[in-house]
Structures are given as C-alpha cells and as structure tokens.
Amino acid sequence: EIVLTQSPVTLSLSPGERAILSCRASQSVSGFLAWYQQKPGQPPRLLIYDVFKRATGIPARFSGSGSGTDFTLTISSLEPEDFAVYYCQQRYNWPLTFGGGTKVEIK
C-alpha cells in the first residue's frame, strides 16, 4: 500500500497569503496524484488531477506540481472560501490511498 504523508497538518494563514501544501508518497506514484478540498459538512471536491490539471470550474489560483514522490498544491492568494481541509490521493496502485489531510485555517 502506498502511504501518502501530508505536511503541515495545519496551516494558519490570512486571506491574500500564499498557501503551499506538501504531499510525499512512500514510493513513486508517477503522475497519478490528485488533490481534493473538503469543507465542513460537505463531501470532498476534486481540485487537481494528474499532478497539475485543474478540474472543471477550479480557479487558476490553485496549482499543482511535483513528480515521483513529492508533490505540492499551491494556492496563490487565499480567498475566504479556500479555508478548508485538503487531501492528496494516488491512483497509481490499488488500494487507492489518501494523505491524512492539511487544514488551512484563518490566522
């Protein structure tokens, strides 16, 4: 099973600041990595897939990068609606696995 480790666990920032979230895999997942956003009481929503491709309707302030085992989600300038929990997920191998999540909270 591929283990995904996200850091930091919590990120305290102000609106307008840049957020950088990290996801490290226990082995290479090639380009098969995605990021999801989840707000309280809501299901997750796909933001980024295949490392850097934005899902339909996702604003350009969200970007993904990385390769192999190290990946990054960057939110260039935080909007109030971006404060949420973010999960990375791999589909390189079964079982599909998720990272433990990063909570982006208002400072």
Partner 1 sequence: EVQLLESGGGLVQPGGSLRLSCAASGFPFSSYAMSWFRQVAGKGLEWVSAISDTDSRYYTDSVRGRFTISRDSSKNTLYLQMDSLRAEDTAVYYCVKGEYSGVRGWFDPWGQGTLVTVSS
Where along the sequence are the contacts to partner 1 (CB under 8 A)?
34, 36, 38, 43-46, 49, 55, 87, 89, 91, 94-101
Q: Return the number of the residue (25 or 97) whose C-beta is nearest partner 1.
A: 97
Asked if residue 97 lies in contact with residue 89, where contact means CB atoms within 8 angstroms, the answer is: yes
* Closest distance of CB 28 from partner 1, Å: 17
Q: Return the number of the residue (17 or 32) whose C-beta is nearest partner 1.
A: 32
Q: Please give the single-letter amino acid code of residue 64.
A: G
Q: Return the number of the residue (17 or 63) whose C-beta is nearest partner 1.
A: 63
* Closest distance of CB 46 from partner 1, Å: 4
Q: How far is CA 2 from CA 10, 29, 41, 69, 91, in A?
A: 22, 8, 28, 10, 9
* Closest distance of CB 16 from partner 1, Å: 28
Asked if residue 39 lies in contact with residue 89, where contact means CB atoms within 8 angstroms, the answer is: no
Q: How far apart, in whole angstroms, are the C-alpha atoms of residue 14 and residue 106?
A: 6
